[in-house]
Amino acid sequence: MARVRHPSPQTAAVLVALAETGADWSHGYDLCRTLGLKAGTVYPILIRLAERGHVETSWETDPPRGRPARHLYRLSTAGAELARTVTASARAADTAPAPGPAPLAPRTA
């Protein structure tokens, strides 16, 4: 039986943020600022998602003068599907009862 791995909350946040931009390209720095995550968290996630085919990458073709080209990211078709799955799972978890033992009924005398 194959093990199903669920993305970390940070990975899920990156997927959802990229899904919100649709087919537009995003800069990693902008994702860091939007999500409130450090670059040391976001960039490894983007690299892993790209290696797994969930994110497409490209270099900026016409950067402003005086600034180097930046790397751009957007969801692939597979990444968009994963983002939909993550979003649906999060919604289902919000409506599901909390895990753990059921609360005890109060005693009656």
Residues 5-32 have pLDDT tens digits of 788 999 999 999 999 998 899 999 999 9
Write out pLDDT tens, residues 36-92: 999 999 999 999 999 999 999 999 888 889 988 899 999 999 999 999 998 888 777
pLDDT at 88: 86
Are the CB atoms for 25 and 75 separated by under 8 Å? no
Q: What is the pTM of this model?
A: 0.77
CA atoms within 13 A on the CB side of 74: 10
Please provide the DSSP assignment of 18-56 as one string.
HHHTTTS-EEHHHHHHHHT--HHHHHHHHHHHHHTTSEE
Q: By the 8 A CB rule, do 68 and 80 touch?
A: no
Residue of higher predicted confidence among 99 and 63 = 63
pLDDT in tens, 32-48: 999 999 999 999 999 99
CA distance 58 to 74: 9
Give the CATH fold of the 9-92 domain.
Answer: Arc Repressor Mutant, subunit A (1.10.10)
pLDDT value of position 5: 73
